[in-house]
Structure 1
Amino acid sequence: MATDSLWQEVLNPQARIAVIGECMLELSMDDSLATPQALSATVSYGGDTLNTAIYMSRLGLNVDYVTALGDDSYSEWMIRQWQREGIACGLVHRYRASLPGLYAIENDESGERYFHYWRSQAPVKQLLATAERREALFAELRSYDVIYFSGISLSLFKDHELDALFAFLKTYCDRGGVLAFDSNFRPKQWPEFERARHWFSKAYQLSRIALPTLDDELCLYPKQSSDGAIERLKLGKRKELIIKKGAEGCLALWLDQCRDCPIDETVSLVDTTAAGDSFNAAYIAARCQGQDPVQACKAAQKLAAQVVQHKGAILPLDKMPG
């Protein structure tokens, strides 16, 4: 059973981490190669939880990615790339006659990103579709020390599937498993905000490590002030709560501690893709390696600062901070 101090018996360098979510094919538009007859784009892959899994693996953690793909060559290619990053793919389910989701990404001059999705039939939406699939997956997940997912992960599933997932997670946490959750709220994926509030609240109630972004919380609760959002996030059983505030740094709350963690360096913003995803990975990695929450926030800010100074979600290996 994990303790309420630092949960050292669970958060250690050998911890087994399951990351649940969706990864899609990514089209990055290249205006320099466009012609009057055609656009030009580079094909890659991306997804918030997959980004986090890659950075976790690069930082020395034992990570399994939990998702579903098709039986096509694009899905096979993605799995090979993830395995080259050191991610275990034994829980990547493959469904016949399916294709992975697809999105196109654009960046404006400030580095802010915009997405266009083709994902309504993505195979990951079938991951919890039957009782048999749910029971088989939950049986596998019981052996993991940490389960990580995001609000985007939750948006993939129907309410009865989420009911089953949270029933499993309640038992998992009661037995000492650590749940880590990043809200990562995307309005287009939650047409009914009240539904998102319901499921996010359940996730926060169970989470040992909560990693919300303040701007996302203010979007989800538009009538709430920043102070009000922070007080709401603090409700319930005391958790390790790291509130990301963009250029203002982050706020770390744990046990009886509350520390403001400003960003120490000025960065030239190029692309904000995966800023939060990389932060989350580095934070959890630092905690597993014995650093306290403030030290972990500094490590997370260092990686995120490097990520936003480069195009794309994933840094070249030689650009990873030492």
Structure 2
Amino acid sequence: MTTLITGAAGFIGMHVAEALLNRGEQVVGIDNFTPYYSLDLKRARVARLEAKHGTAYSFLNIDFGDASALTASLFGKEVDRVVHLGAQPGVRYSLENPAAYIHSNISGHLNILELARHRAISHLVYASSSSVYGMRSDTPFRVADRADSPISLYAATKRADELMSETYAHLFRIPQTGLRFFTVYGPWGRPDMAVWKFTEAVLQGKAIDVYNHGDMLRDFTFIDDIVNGIILALDRPPADDGQQKPGGFATPHRIYNIGNNRPEQLTDLIRAIEGACDRKAELNLMPMQDGDVYQTFADIDDINRDLGFAPTTPMSVGVPAFVNWYVEEWSKHPGYPVAERK
């Protein structure tokens, strides 16, 4: 069994690849190392898997937004399933570089759909986002809720991906599962996310920018729980049975929320980081940023009922695990910014 993972140099992509490799499967990973955040971190993730798993892991430096390059790079390679996690991430960055989102998240998603169509892929699992829910006041967010009022281009591209996938499921009967991710954190995470930024600032004695004066709720989900959910979904593709599935589709296509179902105040996260670092944080309280949402809160009843997904890692365990990785491993890695070492 060979699984293609896009965004394989990314945070979630690396962990999913490792989980599949640990099961004895073959993985082909692709990524093009966009400089949205540290390339050293991305390269370190890839190098870690290559060193540990040898020929079971094949990595290709390729831009899946380039259809010709994608086809050429995979020529002669067997692919049974696809976990499509690659995308241009970030809500705020979409205000600065919208073209990057169209290239990766729209054209790139189409290219993966075409690959799945022509390769007769047995299951395509793809990343969507809780951002599709927009600025909702009613919680928790349910997959059955309307998702047609995005407040960022990033969110709009992710909703467009879901609709494109439904079209291909209808026309070509490609089994697909879309996963609406909420806030994911853990070892080897992303430097642009709150857990990383806050931890780094506390350890370096720098002020933390806290938006909406800390009055924000996020459904923080530890990486191990997310990986478990992705693999549960991957192993059980939706049936082409004409029955309606989460997302409202009667095709072999379903959409799930994948989160922790326990939203936390941003201030609670900061206190957990302070405790794990054994240092107090200096706070720079700021207003809400354009494109941000006040709260995220996942209703996970569908994925729990269908796949048995049930996150088990509380913030009191997950945050110290991240801080320990950051201090004991990443801050000592050659790729860590020397100018910021303490």
TM-score normalized by the length of structure 1: 0.43
Higher normalized strand content (fraction of residues): 1
Higher normalized helix content (fraction of residues): 2
